[in-house]
Amino acid sequence: MKKKVVSVLLVAAMGAFTLAGCGGTAAAGGAADAGATAATEAAAPAADANAGGEEEAAPTADVASEGEHELSVYAWDANFNIPALEAAAEAYKAVDPDFTLNIVTQSGSSDVEQAVTLAASAGDYSTLPDIVLFQDHYIQKFVADYPDAWQDLEGANINWDDFGAEKLSYSTIGGKHYGAPVDNGTAVFAYRTDILEECGYTIDDVTGITWERWLEIAKDVKDKTGMALLSMDHSGDDLPYMFMQAEGKSQWKDNTTPDLVGNETFKKIIEVIVQGAQDGTIILANSWSDYTDQTIVGDQVAGVMNGNWIIPTIEQVDANSGKWALTTLPTLDGGKEGYAANGGSSLYITANCTKPDLAKDFLAYTFGGGEGSMETYDNALKNGGVITTCISAGKSGVYQEGVDYFGGQAIYADIVANGANVPVVQQSDFHYNMRTLVGNAITNIINGANIDDEIASAQEQLEFEIAGSQN
């Protein structure tokens, strides 16, 4: 057990870095009416494993929900997920006026992962709240490693057909639904329409095109304006994953078998990224702050592609209001729009919940497409920038409103509609290991290394890391 605990904690620490780009940094907004909640601030450190191999206990917080109308939840991000939970708690008062949601605010997703790991290693789940917010890319590993830590959502009054299949693919394990989806990770490609127009293009000219044509347009924009057409934080480079998903392809054959060597689709998308980096049309920034503050807010790019949680970062430049529009991703063959996703989380009931019926009803009514879902997600969007993956909730009047910053485009309705089209691709518990090694390979190829050698090296190292984690 000790070896497994340390392994998971190390992975959790990597996840904390990732979540800087999955809502924590991107979201902005005021606080929702907190009257429906009893919020508890818990300053917990990022998950870690000390040199001696012993787990360090996270600070404790009151996770009790003793009343029959009360539930407790661990979540993070006071400007994003917390307003969504506050909105849900307020909405649920329509059916249970005495309802209270005790929100225990964590400093990041790794705190939640650490709490589950420590409870499992102690064999005592009483330290957990009734519900936890958990990031999508990690939940399958945690359910596999600690199956007794969770209660599934079987019997909950949720219409699962009301959600995109890709979103549900993370939280559906062994044929059972475990999580109620919260935020929408659907990727958007945003363009400065004024810059495109200056160069003789429209948003239609960059929709449904090949990456080859995109590189031509991007080079023209670069030559005429000096601006790149795309950027990414290369210290956590999500471009390969999103490019591949838009093709309906994966970098994995199964959970523990990477599919890089001989994968022609993967090689082609790496070639696109490398060419873009070499000709200056794609900026691979050295850090998250360089990516957001320098390339996006600093007006170095006329295009931004990422999970839709990047929108508040784009909106920080008041002078560019009305000059942006959203569309989908290019693809290798063109002739179709590319759909992908990046980031996201869902809510899970823990083994410590003694009121599972209340928890299921609360989740179904608010986040699960029930009668309170429109109210929940309308307020979550207005107060925290959280966009639903629930298709029916995305049809509300709030979602249909045009957004001035994006030229009056009803971007939130478009994002929900696009999310229903994101392909389900093979995922892996070693997603972030893959991301790091592929990022290193891209750097080496840009600097002159042979692409086939770098792909082979990345796969070999990844297989070594996977084997080591299973010992």
* Within a domain: 405: no
The tens digit of pLDDT for each residue in 30-80 reads 222 323 333 333 323 233 322 233 333 344 456 768 889 999 999 999 889
377, 395, 413 - which closes a domain? 395
The tens digit of pLDDT for each residue in 79-133 reads 899 999 999 999 999 999 999 999 999 988 999 999 999 999 999 999 999 999 9
Q: Give the pLDDT mean for 267-273.
A: 98
pTM for the structure as a whole: 0.82
Q: Are residues 174 and 98 in the same domain?
A: yes
The one-character DSSP state at 44 is -
* Contact call for residues 403 and 115 (beta carbons, < 8 A): no
* Contact call for residues 327 and 207 (beta carbons, < 8 A): yes
Q: Are residues 159 and 208 in the same domain?
A: no
Q: Are residues 121 and 197 in the same domain?
A: no
Q: What is the DSSP string of 343-387?
A: --EEEEEETT-S-HHHHHHHHHHHTSSSTTHHHHHHHHHHHH-PP
Give the per-residue pLDDT at 62. 60
The one-character DSSP state at 37 is B
Domain residue limits at 113 = 2-185+343-395
* Within a domain: 420: no
* Within a domain: 444: yes
Q: Tell me the CATH number at 179.
A: 3.40.190.10
Q: Are residues 253 and 369 in the same domain?
A: no
* Within a domain: 403: no
Instruction: Count Cβ neighbours within 10 Å for each residue of 112-144 and write b for 16 or more, e otherwise.
Output: bbbbbbbbbbeeebebbbbbbbbbbbbbbbbbe
Residue with tokens 């000096």: 226
Q: Are residues 59 and 108 in the same domain?
A: yes
Q: Are residues 431 and 283 in the same domain?
A: yes
pLDDT band at residue 14, thresholds of 50, 70 and 90? very low
Q: Are residues 180 and 196 in the same domain?
A: no
Q: Are residues 229 and 160 in the same domain?
A: no
Give the per-residue pLDDT at 279. 97
Q: Are residues 464 and 359 in the same domain?
A: no
* Within a domain: 407: no
* Within a domain: 401: no
Q: Are residues 71 and 177 in the same domain?
A: yes
Q: Are residues 378 and 355 in the same domain?
A: yes
Q: Are residues 256 and 158 in the same domain?
A: no
* Within a domain: 293: yes
Cα–Cα distance, 98 to 96 (Å, whole number): 5
Give the per-residue pLDDT at 36. 32
* Within a domain: 123: yes
How many structural domains compose the chain?
A: 2
